[in-house]
Structures are given as structure tokens and as C-alpha cells.
Amino acid sequence: MTPLMNIGEAAAAAGVSAKMVRHYEQIGLLPAAERSESGYRLYGEREVSVLRFIRQSRRLGFSVAQIAELIGLWSDSRRSSREVKAVAQRHLADLEEKRREIEQMMDGLSVLVQACHGNDQPHCAILDKLSLHSPAQHQPEHKPQLRKGRLPRDEVAGERSSSPIDLMAWMRGVQVHQAGQPER
């Protein structure tokens, strides 16, 4: 019998943080831990294996729901590899779609960047394209002052967003004018 580990030891053995161990337990990816007489969580090798599985799955970009499905399949000795492959294929298709969307965003943004002279003049082709169909008299009169307490962490000024979904949706609606082509 292997000795039980506290949350810090289990987290270190699995390569995740103790906070993530608690999170995975809270959302149901990891079963509720045994408790010591003093109330501390205790984990065995099985839980550490599940934590490693979750870590590897997250590195491949699987969602929590997909990881739950994969853990369920992993625990089912009567599963077929076809079922597991189907989960991975769906995820791969989702990633390919995201890549196409990101490539479209990059193409559109590259055209905008190339159109801007980037000099000391106030005129900027990027702002012109972003404000297309907006009359000049409706130009904002203020500079936004973002408040950290009111926005999700990844939307605060100066921080990069980890999810380009909204930008992708917006880019689908932007028509970029390229040199030599009439605007629509």
C-alpha cells in the first residue's frame, strides 16, 4: 500500500498546483478526496494519475467536458478505442476551425497594418477601416478608462486575451480594402 499524500504533495507529483487540484475536485473531474482526522485532503496514486491525465489533456486543449468524457472512457474497461478517437477527432476539428479563424484574423490585420503609414501624421488607415460606416462627427470624445474590477481578467488593458473568439466574430464582419480593389 502506498502512503497517502497531502494536497501539496499530490499536486507536485502530478505537476499541477494545489489550487487546480481543489478546482478539479470542485467541478467533478476528480472525486472528493479522503480526509484525515484533522480534515486535510488525502490523495493516493490513483488520484495523482487522474491529475496527470487532466494536465496532459489540458495541454492538448481539451475542454473540461471533453476531459470528463475521456476520463469516463479511461475508466470503462469495455470502451472501444473508436469512442476515444471520436472525442479526439472532434477536438482536432475544433482546433482546425480555430486555426482557420485565427489565420483570417491575421490576414485581415496584416492588410490593415500594411495600409497604415505609421508616421507622425494623425491620419491612420487602421482607424479608418475600424470605423468604416461611422460618420466622423461620431468619433469618440474620450479615451476609455478601464476599471479592473468590472472586466474579466483577460480584458483588462495591457493584458493579452487568451480567447480571440469575440475578435474572430468581429473580423468575419470586417471587409478589408486592399490596394487596387474597390471598396464594397
Taking only the tens place, the pLDDT of each residue in 30-41 is: 999 999 999 999
Residue closest to 34 by CA, chosen among 3, 79, 66: 3
- Least confident range from 33-47, 83-97, 103-117, 135-149: namely 135-149
Model confidence at 79, pLDDT cuts 50, 70, 90, reads very high
Nearest-angstrom CA–CA distance, 176 and 183: 8
Model confidence at 139, pLDDT cuts 50, 70, 90, reads confident
Nearest-angstrom CA–CA distance, 89 and 66: 11
- The predicted structure's pLDDT at residue 144: 87
